[in-house]
């Protein structure tokens, strides 16, 4: 039977310290998902989940998200082979975000640009405003080759 | 002069590999902010920033957010003393999220429940659906005492 989620409690203490997992989906039906690498804690990506993708993630142990750009269920790594196996799943105090510690298969890369993490640029304050510096390493795969298979 | 942000480029390559920091604020004017502890990488919280709070964060080096519940600028730790000094700021491939590596002052706690991290509960799949287990340690301060000062 697929996992379903009860409506969040209106009681703040119950929401914050209870044992019922009652995600607070936003007006678009989504919670924020933060994804780190279980092996060293590196932040890999930030994505979103609806009830369906969250249930599938819990049931299968493989990370599923909701793609806001494609408006579709998204089994991360289905095309690239970089599937994410969930080592641990947590939620936050008010249950509107989840944290996935994952093990990444395939190229050990999560970003669609081919890099290990989506967070490969540092922001700094320059004389003309905030600027970016690429600090996150080289792509681990060639996106043009990997995604052109579709 | 306060930092301002140019509109995001429509060119995907420029957005993803360029050096211009042009955050893609959503329809509510917000980007997602993921906050980890610079000393050990622990995920502390997920919050949101509008242009004002992001600019203040970059200018002052102290994390500022936008409180969606209070609809107000939020200098994190102003009441509790648990200010966050930004050690590094990153953005992701499509520039709709930022990652702050911070050093936490005061009680070395980030969650309003007094705990170090907001992510103090693990989700697991039980016979009656998904359940939570508190795994994230004891509160570092008493919220009732700290927040009642206001």
Closest chain B C-alpha to A113 CA, distance in angstroms: 8
Question: Is B91 an 8 Å CB contact of chain A?
Answer: yes
**pLDDT range class, residue A62, cuts 50, 70, 90:** very high
Q: Using CA atoms in the order B24, B29, B30, B31, what is the torsion angle rounded to 10 degrees?
A: 0
Please report the pLDDT score of residue A105 as a whole number. 96
B20 touches chain A (CB under 8 A): yes
Please tell me the distance from the alpha carbon of residue A36 to that of residue A40, in angstroms, as a whole number: 8
B6 is in an annotated binding site: no
The domain defined by B12-113 carries CATH number 3.10.20.810:
yes
pLDDT over 60 at A11, yes or no: yes
Q: Give the tens place of pLDDT for each residue, B72-83.
A: 999 999 999 999
Pairing of strands B31-37, A64-67: unpaired
pLDDT category, A148, cuts 50, 70, 90? Answer: confident
List pLDDT tens digits, range B22-75. Answer: 999 999 999 999 999 999 999 999 999 999 999 999 999 999 999 999 999 999
Tell me what the mean pLDDT of segment B143-149 comes to: 83
Residue bearing the bigger pLDDT, A55 or B138: A55
- pLDDT tens for A70-127 read 999 999 999 999 999 999 999 999 999 999 999 999 999 999 999 999 999 999 998 8
| Inter-chain CB proximity B131 and A97 less than 8 Å | no
Known binding site for Zn(2+): residues of A?
93, 111, 118
Q: How many CB atoms lie within 10 A of CB B115?
A: 24
CA atoms within 13 A on the CB side of B90: 23
pLDDT > 70? residue B149: no
pLDDT number for residue B137: 81
CB-based contact A11:A64 (threshold 8 Å): no
Q: How many CB atoms lie within 10 A of CB B111?
A: 23
- Selecting from A59, A111, A119 the residue whose C-beta is nearest the C-beta of B125 gives A59
Tokens of B71: 């609809």
Q: Bin A12: left if φ > 0, else alpha if -120 < ψ < 50, else beta.
A: alpha
**What is the residue extent of each domain of chain B?**
12-113
pLDDT bin (cut points 50, 70, 90) of residue B121 is very high
- Start-to-end C-alpha separation, chain A: 32
Bridge partners for A126 per DSSP: A129
Whether A149 shows a pLDDT value over 70: the answer reads: no
* % pLDDT > 70, chain B: 98
**Residue of A33, A43, A130 to mutate when probing chain B, most B C-beta within 10 A:** A130
Question: Which residue out of B37, B60, B90 would a mutagenesis test of the A interface target, given it has the greatest number of A Cβ atoms within 10 Å?
Answer: B90
Minimal C-alpha gap between A10 and chain B (Å): 15
Total length of chain B = 150
B45 contacts A123? CB cut-off 8 A: no
Residues of A with Cβ-Cβ distance to B21 under 8 angstroms: 123, 129-132
Q: What is the pLDDT of residue B63?
A: 98
3-state SS assignment for residue B85: strand
> Helix, strand, or coil here: A58?
helix
Chain A neighbours among B 25-64 (CB < 8 Å)?
32, 34, 36, 40-43, 45-46, 58-59
Q: Which residues sit opposite A50 in a β-bridge?
A: none
| Residues whose CB is less than 8 angstroms from the CB of residue A127 and which lie 6 or more positions away in sequence, other chains included | none
């Amino acid at each position: 039977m697929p996992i379903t989620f009860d409506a969040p409690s209106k009681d703040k203490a119950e929401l914050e310290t209870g044992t019922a997992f009652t995600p607070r989906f936003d007006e678009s039906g989504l919670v924020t998902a933060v994804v780190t690498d279980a092996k060293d804690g590196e932040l890999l990506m930030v994505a979103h989940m609806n009830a369906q993708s969250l249930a599938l993630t819990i049931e299968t142990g493989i990370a599923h998200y909701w793609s806001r750009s494609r408006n579709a269920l998204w089994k991360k790594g289905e095309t690239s082979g970089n599937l994410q196996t969930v080592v641990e799943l947590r939620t936050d105090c008010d249950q509107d975000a989840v944290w996935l510690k994952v093990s990444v298969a395939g190229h050990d890369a999560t970003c669609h640009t081919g890099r290990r993490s989506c967070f490969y640029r540092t922001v700094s304050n320059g004389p003309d405003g905030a600027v970016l510096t690429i600090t996150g390493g080289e792509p681990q795969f060639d996106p043009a080759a990997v995604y052109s298979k579709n």
